[in-house]
Copies of this chain bind each other. A is one copy, B any other.
Amino acid sequence: MNIAVLPGDGIGPEIIAEAVKVLQRIAQDGFDFTFETAPVGGAAYAASGHPLPEATLNLAKAADAVLFGAVGDWKYDTLERHLRPEQAILGLRKNLGLFANLRPAILYAELADASSLKPEVVSGLDILIVRELTGDIYFGQPRGRRTAPDGAFAGQPEAFDTMRYSRPEIERIAHVAFKAAQGRNKRLTSVDKANVLETFQFWKDVVTEVGQQYPDVQLDHMYVDNAAMQLVKAPKKFDVIVTGNMFGDILSDEASMLTGSIGMLPSASLNEKGQGLYEPSHGSAPDIAGQGIANPLATILSAAMMLRHSLGLPEQADRIEAAVQKALAQGLRTPDIHAPGTQKVSTAQMGDAVVAAL
């Protein structure tokens, strides 16, 4: 099983090192993992002038799965857009066809205090956001700058983008979401803005149609503004949420912050062939890079998702998740989740603790 390892920028290399350590420990039990590393993001731009070099893309395409750290650093903020680090992640999603982004928002009992929400509102929180990842206004053509061709400001300079979803794109993400709901509490909330957008009236119609194939799943529909409110008010009412790329970007980050410990949250981005890219939900945190204080657990949990969704090793995934739980139960905490009465450890010590728990 070939794993492409793309550490990226900021804390990326440090957290990836721990996840690889954990996977190597799993491999010792009789699995054949091959790791090949390549630069991505700002690191790749610095080395070769492009955030997603051809060789990196080819490595990712050929691999069974991609383990991704994080990209981005303020020093690249003034580059032209197509050279900026985050274009690498957009390019990987598009080129690998990674249309299904799974982002769990789970509150670990041990970390309940970290949330900015009241304990009774978030304790036991366990929701899954299924975000469409290759369509919508992220990639829709045409887009650009021009002189406004019509409307009240015709003749003025303007910029524009196109939101688009085709029927097959909506159908395939809906199937992913309904299946995910079947494996959980069998409730799915489709988030749209059908009262304003043609795209999301169509989205709602198609999701409703697909839902007829999943009579065991209770489907409801919610406007995105209301979803943003309900996540704050009563997040535990959700089980699985499915939505488009743009709304999913916003709501999945909002949901992850409800836990107060975004350093714990993994993500998976899958294509139709079962290939996937696995990355922590948090960013590259250049401000703390190189200090050995980053939390590697989101990346380690992303590696677990990789075993489950791309490498056909669900039991090994369970083992890793249990090992993470154990490290938490032992009171070990990186600084981002440290609280009185627990033991502060470094990035590497946390990785070692997970390996030991395995």
Name A residues whose Cβ lies closer than 8 Å to a Cβ of B: 81, 84, 86, 90, 116-118, 121, 137-138, 140-141, 143-145, 148, 150-151, 153, 156-169, 193, 195-203, 224-226, 228-229, 231-234, 246-247, 249-254, 256-258, 260, 262
Contacts and interface: CB of A to CB of B under 8 A. Distances in A.
Per assembly, the copies of the chain total 2
Given A153-B169, A167-B158, A196-B90, A249 B232 contact: no
Contact of A195 (B81, B199, B229): B81
25 contacts: A86-B196, A116-B117, A117-B118, A118-B118, A145-B202, A148-B164, A151-B164, A153-B166, A153-B169, A156-B167, A158-B167, A159-B200, A159-B201, A160-B163, A160-B199, A161-B162, A161-B198, A193-B249, A224-B250, A225-B250, A228-B250, A228-B253, A229-B254, A229-B257, A233-B260
B151 A141 contact: yes
B163 A163 contact: yes
Contacts of A167: 156-158
Contacts of A231: 254
B257 A232 contact: yes
By Cβ-Cβ distance, the 3 closest A-B pairs, closest first, are A159-B202, A153-B166, A158-B166
B81 A201 contact: yes
Given A116-B233, A153-B169, A168-B156, A161 B253 contact: no
